[in-house]
Amino acid sequence: MKPMPPITRGHARLLLAASIMTCLLVIMGGVVCATESAAGCPDWPGCYGRIVPPPQINAIIEYAHRLIAALTSPLIIAAAVVSWRRTRAIRWVTRPLLLSLLFLVAVIIFGAFAVLTGLPRGVAALDLSSALVVLGLVVTATVVAFARRADPDLPDRLGGGAYGRLTLAALGSLLAMYAGGVLVAGKGSFTRCLGWPVAPMIPADLVGWPQTARFALSALAGILIVAAVAQGLGAPRSHTVLRRLAGVVGLAFLVEMAAGALIRTGGAGAPVLIIYVAAAAVLWASLVALAVQARIG
């Protein structure tokens, strides 16, 4: 059997940089939503027809989001190209990155239409889901690459096991719950922003079974995440990476819940809203990493 090509330090760092920038891009998307800055630049790709945005906080936030997107896209493309050229035989490094390019195109198109014409509720949910999928795929390739650097003889597959299935179930419920916020939110409602249904019900939000389903999803996601963190922290000490990732997931979950509790009181300002959506993005990225690491073994 032909040996697998090695993952170089530079290659792994490129993937890590792509993961960090993609996570930052998702965070900025949440910040734009939480601060209601989506209309800060009413045109695209410029801002009021200018390269430099006007000195208005909403315009600066929205333009910063676009700038991070402009920096992130080339990083993901470079990571995919380098992986294809150097480690094509390692499927769980190359294929997630190639697939992420398709979702990246969708995110760029959705982003342009969101500014120029707005997005229907269902398409907006697809936009958020696509962004989270891009982040998940890039993180998957990164975790596998670092695992292979630590153990070059690692098989090119992701196994199963009860813990692996638990983390995947937590991921699926979390994605459905995040996307569900867009589907049940009324116009301009904070409910549509990345996070859990912890804010008081907004009059414009949908009522009835859609809200009930989202609250049920949030309860399921919370239970599964707590179970995944508990089992991960209880893993043997030799599973250092798994234990650390479980700790990051648990910390992100606690921070998001604490920020959500402050938001529910109605006295939270912009810093708490930013922490809230940032914790949501970190929770998703770290849970993906935990799920991949759990299936690596």
What is the tens place of the pLDDT at every residue in 127-148? 889 999 999 999 999 999 999 9
Residue among 156, 126, 160, 161 at smallest CA distance from 141: 156
Amino acid at 235: A
Helix (H, G, I), strand (E, B) or coil at 50: strand
The DSSP annotation for 62-124 comes to HHHHHHHHHHHHHHHHHHHHHHHHH-TT-HHHHHHHHHHHHHHHHHHHHHHHHHHT---HHHH
pTM: 0.91
Helix (H, G, I), strand (E, B) or coil at 166: helix
Query: What pLDDT, in 10s, does the model give residues 238-251?
Result: 899 999 999 999 99
Residue whose structure tokens are 């199963």: 160
CA gap 22, 16 in Å, rounded: 10
Amino acid at 17: A
Query: What pLDDT, in 10s, does the model give residues 20-58?
Result: 999 999 999 888 888 877 777 777 777 777 777 777 888
pLDDT of residue 118: 62
CA gap 285, 138 in Å, rounded: 9
pLDDT of residue 172: 96
pLDDT of residue 177: 93
Helix (H, G, I), strand (E, B) or coil at 139: helix
| SS3 letters across 173-201 | HHHHHHHHHHHHCCCCCHHHCCCCCCCCC
Structure tokens at 179: 């996307």
pLDDT of residue 1: 47
pLDDT of residue 27: 94
pLDDT of residue 293: 93
Low-confidence ranges of the chain (pLDDT < 50): 1
Q: What percent of the chain has pLDDT over 90?
A: 48
